[in-house]
A and B are shown apart, each in its own frame.
Chain A
Amino acid sequence: MSMEEILDGLKSAVIEGIDEDAAEFASQAIEAAVPPMEIIKGGIDPAMDVVGKAFEDGDAFLPELILAGDAARAALDLIIPMISEDDLEGAVHGTVVIGTIFGDAHDIGKNIVSAILAAHGIKIIDLGINVPPRQYIDTALAEGAEIIAISSLITTSLPYHREVINTLRDRGDREKVFVIVGGGPVTAEWTAEIGADGYGRDAQDAAKVVTQLLEGLAAGQKPPLVEPITAGALKHG
């Protein structure tokens, strides 16, 4: 099978959301000595562009987005260890621990953000809904995650955002992990007030913020940020 055929197969597997096939094509590409960054750029990125555009246009839906993200991750788990240190420096990579905060059972927004981030090659550890503050922290530190991403749709869950940040600070771990927040009632003002590092209004905005944070980290920037990175401010008087 030619390199083009392998990458086309990988692309199709990701679009179809079949993680076994995505992993198989990724293995074949590695065995064929296709450079890892070329596998990502030729097989995974275009596939996620297709799925992301279809979702935006209303032609694909959340299950497809989630399954495509899973398939991309299955391939990336094989590809990333093969990337050279030089290439790795130029690539955005990292781990995000994500969940809907304690007291809140809404997961649609969190699922969309997870899928979009996975599509950007980010490793996602999804803690689900109703996540206690300490679980984010314990998981992030145990897994060496660079970012904690907190989702909320309910206003009375917002104070738990602050608890995550305060607990990190009080444990002496605030310098180890960025914290970003998002969801219906979350604003850029709230993000700054609680001392979080980033806010995105929607999933695409969240991806921009995560990318910027990881690029900043690679360039030596450590948490917490003095001014949070925000994307997609709300329009009001």
Chain B
Amino acid sequence: MHNKPDILEILGRTQTGEYCTQKEWDTKRIPLTIRSILKEHDLAGACNPDEPVNTDFDLADRFYAAGYQAALELGYLCTDTERIVGVSQEELDNALKYAPAEIWVGEGKDATLLRARTPSDPYPMKAATSLGITVSEDVMPDMLYLIAREPEVDILEAGSMITVRGREVLSGTPIETLMGYEHGVMHREARRRAGREGMGAIGSISAVTEYGQFGAYGTPGGFRTSDLALILFPSEMKVDYRTLHKVVHTLNMGGIMKCDSPGMIGGMPGPAEGATVSSIACALLSYAILQNHVGGGEIYDVRYLSNVNREGLWALSVIYQALSRNTHTLCHGIANQVSGPGTENLLREIATGVSVLAASGSSLTTGPRSAGGKLTDFITPLECRFVAEVSHAASAMSIENVKGVVQALLPKYEDSIKEPDLGIPFQKAYNMDTLEPTPEWEAMYRKVKAECIELGIPLDSH
């Protein structure tokens, strides 16, 4: 008995916890608590945009202490019942103590070992690609296959479906349940076709509600229970029955899960420092409240829905340094790009965000979010390869060296973050007969890769 609240106890707290309206939570409870904690720990104003990567581990540790305090003071708000699901210090400590420090994702020789890391750890940050960018149904099988066959890609997530046999998927309806199953089957087939049948996966990104997940995860032929169940939950520090349905389903299936929710810079917790505290708190609570295996620490800047700007990169560096230095949890991070395929800036945004995550101690990244995830088919396997390459190559870099990379690359794209070039879709960036990148897209990749090597990321030049 670990004295971590079991899921039935948590479900009970969604009915019996302190009542708090969502408005009160959003406009009072979160901002005032975070503001007070920042003041108490003397962390207000710690983010200096001129220093977009934190190199002061003591500061990261102080943010960890602040996030831990916020976790205990806040808990999550259950939006269905407007009740606060809180945990005691003993429950939180035990949840963190018994959280896994390593986990296999996938099966047999193709499986990937996620391991708790520390900053500049030589054990590489693993790469799951891509994020859930929508992909046309006719393209999806090839897209899954092409990403799965990239040898550096460790885990397959890839795009989300918007139609099933030509019919639009309406989330929350039985069509979503059907889509979840068909997506899972297609996903397994792509890994088999790529010769990596046991390759781990994250699924199902297409499952917006619990129905898609019921159809996809643990079903015969669908996502296996050795794959990570994808469970995204609302910010800021909220949970809902949709999330908890997915958690219970994963537990019922005997599976493993990756639960995360972003802190929002400029949102309810305020500036980058506040969102950093909120993000750490949210990640810690996921182990106690959601029985999580692989936790978050995600962050966005609400002005750009990105985190490869100065404040976002700073927050990423602090969050993963804080989590990796103070827990043995398997932390997962996302670099949110805004530029699209067929642009050099997409690759530079990958290089900055992913290298910061890798050197700061994240165990796993999922990406890229090409074109900000806005447009159907605006994703190609080539940038997925680059995410994985940078993940592995930058892991052991010193944080000071990564800061140098960021300071060199960031000025090349930061002026376009607000109005990014979303690039071109897969069908234009790849030759559809050979399923290879066009010479133009390949040349951009070579150019930016050479820039990164020149700046000190030890990438293979081939």
Contact = CB atoms under 8 A, between A and B. Distances in A.
A237 B27 contact: no
A128 B25 CA distance: 14
B268 A63 contact: yes
Interface residues of A, number: 33
B26 A61 contact: no
Interface residues of B, number: 51
Interface string B143-176: 0000000000000000010100000111110001
Nearest to A185: B374
Interface centre among A102, A155, A158, A159 (most CB of B within 10 A): A155
A61 B170 contact: no
A160 to B, nearest CB: 7
Interface stretch (B53-61, B86-94, B394-402, B415-423): B415-423
Given A56-B303, A62-B302, A155 B134 contact: yes
Interface stretch (B1-9, B234-242, B249-257, B313-321): B234-242
A159 B168 contact: yes
B334 to A, nearest CB: 15
Interface in B79-135: 79, 134
B367 interface: no
B26 A66 contact: yes
B171 A187 contact: no
A55 B270 CA distance: 10
B353 interface: no
Interface of A: 55-56, 58, 61-63, 66-67, 102-108, 111-112, 128-129, 154-160, 184-185, 187, 234-237
Which 9 pairs of residues, A with B, have the shortest CB-CB distance?
A103-B171, A236-B422, A237-B424, A156-B171, A159-B168, A155-B134, A63-B31, A63-B27, A61-B270
Interface of B: 22, 26-28, 30-31, 79, 134, 160, 162, 168-172, 176, 206, 208-209, 234-235, 240, 242, 264, 266-271, 274, 302-303, 305, 311, 340, 342, 371-376, 378, 419-424, 428
30 contacts: A55-B266, A56-B303, A58-B266, A58-B271, A58-B311, A61-B274, A62-B264, A62-B267, A63-B26, A63-B268, A102-B171, A102-B172, A103-B172, A105-B242, A108-B235, A108-B302, A154-B171, A155-B376, A156-B170, A156-B171, A156-B208, A187-B375, A234-B422, A235-B419, A236-B375, A236-B378, A236-B421, A236-B423, A237-B342, A237-B421
